[in-house]
Structure formats: C-alpha cells, structure tokens
Amino acid sequence: MTTITRLRVRYAETDQMGVVYHANYIIWMEVGRTEFCREAGVVYRDLEDKENLRLAVIEANCRFVAPARYDDEVEIHTSIAEANPRVLRFSYVIRRSIDQVKLAEGHTKHIFLDTNMKLAKLPPAYFAKFGIATAKV
C-alpha cells in the first residue's frame, strides 16, 4: 500500500534562498507516516493511549534531488519497506504535484517501545494493517 499526502509549502518552511529548508523534509515524512497509518486503520494516538506503545525513530535518511519552493504543492508518497512485530521501515518519495518531479526520497526506521522505553512488540491485531504476516510472530 502506498498513500499520497499533499501539502503546500509555507513561507516559514523556506530558507534565505527561497528553497525549502532541508529539515522540513523529515517533518513531511512524519506527516506522510501519520496519514499512512490513518489510511491503514491505525490511529497513532490509540497505539500510545490504548496499547501503551511508542514508535521510536532509530534511523532517518533523506536524499535531496530537486528544490521545493514557497507555495509549491508537494506529495509525500509513503509505503512500508519492512515490517515485523518489532520494527517498521517506511519509505518516502516526495514529488512536486504539478509536474511529478521527484524532490526527495528517503526512509525512516522505527522500533516499538513500551511506556518505560523498553523494547516491545506490536500486538497481533495490528499485523495486517502494517502488512505483517502472522507467521512472523
């Protein structure tokens, strides 16, 4: 499954050169990841409140290809590249909506933690939503 999340570049997201500041791409990846979860039927807040789980980022990577500028509409294409009960790896491609030019691509890797910051497992009820086969338990 791949989700597409659209947003418009705000002036505050650009640097002195009029180009989107690099750190904003990581924020956009979070937006894409949150919307991916929502479309998969997972409300992140429920993971925290009902399951007492946290999804900690342990790795983030972004390769910049072309600049985004103020008022561009961009699309964050988000998918899962790796999934098991302990680790999720999301993949992202960020494109300019009007011409589909690739602006950036990257990934984030996450582990599940409990409220005491100890390693935890995703409950089986969520496996299908993240594409985890039951046999991988």
Alpha helix (H) residue ranges in 22-79:
23-39, 44-49
Distances 9 to 62, 65, 73, 117, 121 between C-alpha atoms, Å: 18, 17, 6, 34, 36
Catalytic site residue 49?
no
Distances 103 to 62, 77, 100, 106 between C-alpha atoms, Å: 10, 11, 9, 11
Q: Which of 65, 69, 73 is closest to 93 using CA atoms?
A: 65
Q: Does residue 102 contact residue 65 with C-beta atoms inside 8 Å?
A: yes
The upper half-sphere exposure of residue 126, i.e. CA atoms within 13 Å in the direction of its Cβ, equals 22
Catalytic residue among 15, 46, 49, 71: 15
Active site residues per annotation = 15
